[in-house]
Structures are given as structure tokens and as C-alpha cells.
Amino acid sequence: MERAVINLQDKLNRFQELWAPRVVAELNDYQFKLVKIDGEFIWHYHKDTDEAFLVVEGQMAIEFRDGTATLGPGDLFVVPKGMEHKTSAPVPCSVLIIEPRGVPNTGEAGGERTAANDVWI
């Protein structure tokens, strides 16, 4: 059994692509994914699962049709399943996303922003 400490900053230093989640760990059927964001994403929702965002560095917003949640380093927010949302960052931001294995980053919307799934770093 491998017992390795996962250093998030080390993992973040290994890639530069924006909006392309990288898996760093799994817990049962859940994946912990690091992603770098800058600018605005697309409106989308996840029909069957919640999605958790933990800001590692920077600042981001999660916009809803009726308001916005603003997160900074160390802030955690869970978007309930089925809730339409759009993430954005005014400057580059690094985020840890926690969600079940196989969930597309664009949810039910799909499109050109859909990143490859299950990419480990």
C-alpha cells in the first residue's frame, strides 16, 4: 500500500493549462482534482452530483442565477446537484475540486470547454 503525502503546490507547479482539471487523489468513488482558472467558464450544472470547490490560491466567484459566492484562499463551497452555476476568476486562481469519478467539467452543457476526464498528475 502506497503512503505518499500529496503536496498541492508541487502538483500545481507541474501544469499550466487553464480549465483542465488534474486528478491528484481518489477517495472511494470521489476524485480530488486541481484546476487553474482565469476569466469566465460556461453556465452548466451536474444533474446527479454535488460539486465542492476549495480555493488553494487566488480568488474566484461562483455565479448563480440569483446571486454569487466569492471565495478566497482556504474557502470551501459546495454547489448542490442540479444547480446551474458559472465559475470565474478575475486573476489566475488555483482550486481543488472534489466530485465523483467521471463527472465532466462542463456537466450537462458539454461543448468545447469539456476537458479530458481522469487525467492524473
Taken in order of first residue, the domains within the chain and their CATH numbers are 17-100 (2.60.120.10)
DSSP H/E element including 9:
helix 8-12
Sign of CA dihedral 57, 101, 81, 109: positive
Each residue's pLDDT tens digit, 32-68: 999 999 999 999 999 999 999 999 999 999 999 999 9
Band (pLDDT 50/70/90 cuts) for residue 120 is very high
The counts of H helices and E strands in the chain are 1, 7
Query: Is 29 in contact with 63 (CB distance < 8 Å)?
Result: no
- DSSP SS3 for 114: coil
Residue 44 per-residue DSSP state: B
pLDDT at 28 exceeding the cut of 70:
yes
What pLDDT is recorded for position 1?
57
Which set of grid coordinates corresponds to residue 94? 488555483
Strands 51-57 and 76-79: antiparallel
User: What is the tens place of the pLDDT at every residue in 65-110?
Assistant: 999 999 999 999 999 999 999 999 999 999 999 999 999 999 989 9
Burial classification of residue 69, based on how many CB atoms lie within 10 Å of its CB (0-12 exposed, 13-18 middle, 19 or more buried): middle
